[in-house]
Structure 1
């Protein structure tokens, strides 16, 4: 009997039902797209925010207990170094797949035509052997996408370089020394025990907004040979995909030892910048690993605010849809008031009448929710392609969530008019009162 009544209701009131389905479809489409974006936006935004640069710095352990002194201004003979052989260990931690890239650094003061300048040895796009990954490349091109290079990037795919060695020139240093792309200069490094020189050719200029603008930037191996520091680096910048901080990560940041066993496992197995730093410190001997909190904190704040904005828009869409359904159902029920009065006069109970309207609402919610999921999938792909250049992944957990929300929207919109009309007396409805 209920099935027959539902069929007749849809058959004779198809326009009203379609309006309800369209309303739910629009809300469901928006909600499913926003949910898909919210789920995947953390990783996508984290990758986008890598333009801020590396968010982890690895230094020799002595830097944690000695006063902070610029490595350029202090004697290399008094410094501790990190063994370059430790570099593959960066990709040998639990969160190895979250390591976007890294770049070792070695800097010193040298002389050119009697003037002191600073040089920096690093990776640009250098191949390095890491466990279970063939043809792995890393360097400044990967972790420092904000570097603006005019001319050519240095090709450091080889360990040995023919003279002259290719180099990038910081823009500020180029202005002060009046050097330009294509110039060749000879740099001299001299101490009591070492007297070396190296001819370099400027392949391009670089603008970074940092100290690199006042440096001559060369391949790491060339600087190591010049300084007689083969296989040594002063620091390593690491770029890692992380999740925003919460109370647990802040507690661990203050003191890891105060975490109980359950908290420690949860913290260790979550991609917080502090937990990744802790694992890097375990993997590399004789170092201290410090998160660069300005970068890490900005990533977390931006992602949290975007997710909050998405949540507000989702709630607003749900409320608007529920109000639209309530308006449609009120009009629909008023038009069917004589039908309802006749049902009550024939002995129908209040719950039977409300059940009829609830079933109609559920059917509308299912149809609208399914269509909305399809539309949301397409909208999420479009948003991803427009904002990030690649489509967002549509998590299938969104489908049951959206269907449930669509049904809830329909039921909430139906509740008030259905209960209101069901409480009236049959004579009032039959006489149109």
Structure 2
């Protein structure tokens, strides 16, 4: 009898029930979309931000110490400290190897151009370097990936072009250098002719430099197999109190804290692991980049959480109005039930069951619509699909139930206040 009454009420008020189902579906779809995107947005935002450069700088210990104590920079040429190029593949063997997006080494030397008294920095680096890793895997990494926002006139050079160079826009403008020109650089009595294959505008002090393949700089500086810094681009987790504590002194952590920190992709943890595999190195997070990434990620997730909360509040208000209107329309029916002996409790259960059945239909429809919305957001914002998170299903189910019950509270209060004699007389 109870379910016959529920079925009858649903069909008699199908228009209003469809409106309630649509309201719930709208809230559920936005909740599903935002939760899926929010849970997947960390990697997506990090991946987007990685296109704007490195967030870890690896230096020799001696260089790092002089920089900390006396402000001597790694490219000043006074430290005489270097890293071994042969060890760089070890970066992809750390615990968070899959979070290492790109890395590239640098060897900085000071050179002079003809008729120029001022020295210019020449930087040897990898452009698109193919390397065999200690794990047996292969990797293509280098400047072309890490600096892909550069505005390049001409073309990128390859690591095999030992007589080619890319010149910064400020150096090119000051020396009237054009793409295709041949320039002569001198370092310590050694000269080298280079063909300018590209002129780039980086919008930073890199525009004051000349970039050449790493082996070219090594031969010119007589530093075969050596580099003086490595830039690493890694996907990281925003810092929290534990990460900041570890960054100051990892040895101050308890065993449990150390395990949690080491096994989480904090920029300080990845830096620590890099130091473990590169001899006599210090890996320094580029704090401005790392903290900006964390701030952007937190604000993005907060925005999505606010949208979710507002959509649920809107759904609750809509459900409240619709259910209250339904109870008022059925006031004589409810009054008659009370008049023949029905108590408030079974009548409330009847109304709640009708709404919950409607909520299940709307929630299921909203969930699948939300998956579609999530993919639209992923393709339009990140140009990639959003991973479907199974944990969203129970979250949406619980939230839809809470919102539905919260929206029914005003109508249940109205139902409890109805007096059979008054409603049956139309008062």
Query: What is the TM-score when the length of structure 2 is the normalising length?
Result: 0.95
What residue number does 2:72 align with? 69
What residue number does 1:272 align with? 266
What residue number does 1:143 align with? 146
What residue number does 1:318 align with? 312
Q: CA deviation at 1:145?
A: 2.8
| Unaligned ranges ≥5, structure 1 | none
Q: CA deviation at 1:114?
A: 4.5
* Match for residue 348 of structure 2 among 316, 341, 354: 354
What residue number does 1:261 align with? 255
In 1, Cα distance between the equivalents of 2:389 and 2:127?
A: 36
Q: Indicate the SS of the match to 2:186.
A: strand
What residue number does 1:336 align with? 330
Which 4+ runs in 1 deviate beyond 3 A? 70-73, 131-135
Query: Structure 1 residue 210 and structure 2 residue 218: aligned?
Result: no
Q: CA deviation at 1:133?
A: 6.1
Query: Structure 1 residue 95 and structure 2 residue 96: aligned?
Result: yes
Q: CA deviation at 1:22?
A: 0.3
Q: Is the 8 A contact 2:63 2:74 kept in 1?
A: no
Q: CA deviation at 1:351?
A: 1.2
Query: Structure 1 residue 106 and structure 2 residue 100: aligned?
Result: no
In 2, Cα distance between the equivalents of 1:345 and 1:2?
A: 18
In 2, Cα distance between the equivalents of 1:89 and 1:68?
A: 29
In 2, Cα distance between the equivalents of 1:19 and 1:89?
A: 60
Residues 226-305 of structure 1: matches in 2 within 5 Å? 226-305=220-299
Query: Structure 1 residue 398 and structure 2 residue 399: aligned?
Result: no
* Match for residue 182 of structure 1 among 166, 174, 180: 180
In 2, Cα distance between the equivalents of 1:180 and 1:28?
A: 59
Q: Indicate the SS of the match to 1:136.
A: strand
Residues 1-80 of structure 1: matches in 2 within 5 Å? 1-66=1-66, 67-75=70-78, 78-80=79-81
Q: Indicate the SS of the match to 1:229.
A: coil
Q: CA deviation at 1:257?
A: 2.0
> How many equivalent residue pairs?
422
Q: Aligned pair in 2 of structure 1 residues 133, 369: CA closer, same or farther (>3 Å)?
A: farther
For residues 197-234 of structure 1, the C-alpha deviation after alignment (integer angstroms, 9 at most, x for no partner) is 22211111111122221111001111111111110000
Q: CA deviation at 1:432?
A: 2.7
| Unaligned ranges ≥5, structure 2 | none
Q: Is the 8 A contact 1:55 1:295 kept in 2?
A: yes
Q: CA deviation at 1:361?
A: 1.7
Q: CA deviation at 1:303?
A: 0.9
* Match for residue 380 of structure 1 among 366, 374, 378: 374
Q: Is the 8 A contact 2:171 2:209 kept in 1?
A: yes
In 2, Cα distance between the equivalents of 1:303 and 1:46?
A: 8
Q: Is the 8 A contact 1:110 1:119 kept in 2?
A: yes
In 1, Cα distance between the equivalents of 2:204 and 2:133?
A: 30
In 2, Cα distance between the equivalents of 1:2 and 1:419?
A: 21
Instruction: Pick which of 172-181 and 399-408 moved more.
Output: 399-408
What residue number does 1:84 align with? 85
In 1, Cα distance between the equivalents of 2:283 and 2:150?
A: 24
What residue number does 2:122 align with? 119
Q: CA deviation at 1:167?
A: 1.1
Q: Aligned pair in 2 of structure 1 residues 266, 72: CA closer, same or farther (>3 Å)?
A: closer
Q: Aligned pair in 2 of structure 1 residues 73, 276: CA closer, same or farther (>3 Å)?
A: closer
In 1, Cα distance between the equivalents of 2:164 and 2:359?
A: 65
In 1, Cα distance between the equivalents of 2:272 and 2:422?
A: 74
